[in-house]
Structure 1
Amino acid sequence: MHVLFLCKGNVCRSAMAERLAVAIAAEHGLTGLTAESAGTRALVGFPIEPVAAEVLRGLGADPSGFAARRLRPETVDRADLVLAMTEQLRDEVVQLVPGSGRRTFTLLEARRTVWLTKARTVDDLHAHRDRVAIHDESISDPVGLGAGAFERVGEQIAEALLVLIPALCEAGGPGPVDA
């Protein structure tokens, strides 16, 4: 399963999610997961924000070698699952790449859907979306808010991924996806 994480600048939330997803998959022996991240207004080529990198190391993930990337339609096309940090960003992806709505969620929306419905495929996530939907399933941008905000965001992302990644990857992959 190839997962795309999305935020605005791609130096904090989505970068943290990418690296945490890879670390969680490795910890659980889930070899079929690949991940990347991008930003709608990416600081192209920039490394992970230094405080975010410190939080990542504390959570057991490796921030080294990261370079921010800008979101492109082909990035969405190659993803089995797209996980945005906010509802607004999720909706931007769906507008940018028509037909991607069935596999595009906020990270918290996908986590809650797996938790409540035992969804095990991307199709399951989509099928249960309306049944468990709530408003404001966003992860706030911690930039400019201090180390404590970065720690809370890192923990929020890690907690969501600890539920989501094993559930979807242990089931054998993303399931059929309509592009």
Structure 2
Amino acid sequence: METPSSVRILTVCTGNICRSPVAERILQAGFESVRSGTFRIRSAGTRAMAGAPVQPPSARIIESYGGRPDGFVARQLTLGMLRDTDLVLTMEASHRSDVVRLDPSALKRTFTIREFARMLKLLEQRDSGPAPDAALPAWWKALPARAAAVRHLALVNDAADNDVADPYRRGPEAYQRMEDELAPAVLTILRFARRTAPAGV
């Protein structure tokens, strides 16, 4: 159950029917296993097919990682959503640009999901021990600023390595490529969450 202190994470792609729902539902299932009710994961699209369900191949990917695709409805990204979010994870650098144009204040808390996963690996090398139990939500809400501080160390030679390929209206191979690019980043974020969770959580 969401509370005022919940850590609010928004995943963003174009249509909000292929990539960002996969990230949303797998992250939500994984974060629930870390600490139920502490994290609220939602998704939206920069040009959303509002009201549409998740695409069937994406639904199958969600299920294969223990998430639930049922009840999903695509939403158009809005300024209000961004103002109500602690961390924005986009599927492409172009989506990050769209987010920042809509809400310039989101600059330092918006990352492509693959970029953010690399940053967490760098933070793991620097940090020791779990987050304080009582301060877990606040610790996560401060994480974007800590990640931004190591952004320069997480740069890649090919900017395409920051993006997750769009499989919309393409065949099974495109969805497999999406999974191959997206799933490792999602799992890295969840491993970081488990590693930094207070003992006993």
When the two structures are superposed, what TM-score results if normalisation uses the length of structure 1? 0.88
Equivalent of residue 48 in structure 2, options 23, 42, 45: 42
Contact 2:13 2:45 in 1 (8 A): yes
Map of 1:21 onto structure 2: 27
Map of 1:71 onto structure 2: 77
| Equivalent residue letter for 2:149 | A
More relative contact order, 1 or 2 (CA 8 Å, 6+ apart): 1
Matches of 1:60 and 1:147, distance apart in 2: 20
What is the DSSP-based 3-state SS (H/G/I as helix, E as strand, rest coil) of the residue aligned with 1:99? helix
Matches of 1:94 and 1:112, distance apart in 2: 21
| Equivalent residue letter for 2:89 | L
**CA offset digits 1:27-74 (Å, max 9, x no partner):** 334541111000011000000011111221122211000000000011
| Equivalent residue letter for 1:37 | S
**CA offset digits 1:68-113 (Å, max 9, x no partner):** 0000011111110000100011011111101111100000010011
Contact 2:34 2:194 in 1 (8 A): no
Equivalent of residue 80 in structure 1, options 82, 86, 91: 86
Contact 2:28 2:40 in 1 (8 A): yes
What is the DSSP-based 3-state SS (H/G/I as helix, E as strand, rest coil) of the residue aligned with 1:2? strand
Q: Could you list the runs of 4 or more consecutive aligned residues of structure 1 that deviate by over 6 angstroms after TM superposition?
A: none
Map of 2:17 onto structure 1: 11
- 5 Å-filtered alignment, 1:1-179, equals 1-29=7-35, 31-118=37-124, 121-134=143-156, 135-136=159-160, 137-168=162-193, 171=196
Aligned length: 173
Map of 2:135 onto structure 1: none
**CA offset digits 1:141-177 (Å, max 9, x no partner):** 01122123213323432321221134257647xxxxx
RMSD (CA atoms): 2.1
Matches of 1:90 and 1:65, distance apart in 2: 26
Distance 1:50 1:22, change over 3 A: same
What is the DSSP-based 3-state SS (H/G/I as helix, E as strand, rest coil) of the residue aligned with 2:105? coil
Q: Which runs of 5+ in 1 are unaligned?
A: 173-179
Matches of 2:169 and 2:163, distance apart in 1: 18
What is the DSSP-based 3-state SS (H/G/I as helix, E as strand, rest coil) of the residue aligned with 1:54? helix
Contact 1:18 1:37 in 2 (8 A): yes
The alignment-based identity, stated in percent, is: 32
What is the DSSP-based 3-state SS (H/G/I as helix, E as strand, rest coil) of the residue aligned with 2:44? strand
Contact 2:165 2:177 in 1 (8 A): no
Q: Which runs of 5+ in 2 are unaligned?
A: 1-6, 128-139
Contact 1:102 1:126 in 2 (8 A): yes
When the two structures are superposed, what TM-score results if normalisation uses the length of structure 2? 0.79
| Equivalent residue letter for 1:20 | I
Contact 1:33 1:169 in 2 (8 A): no
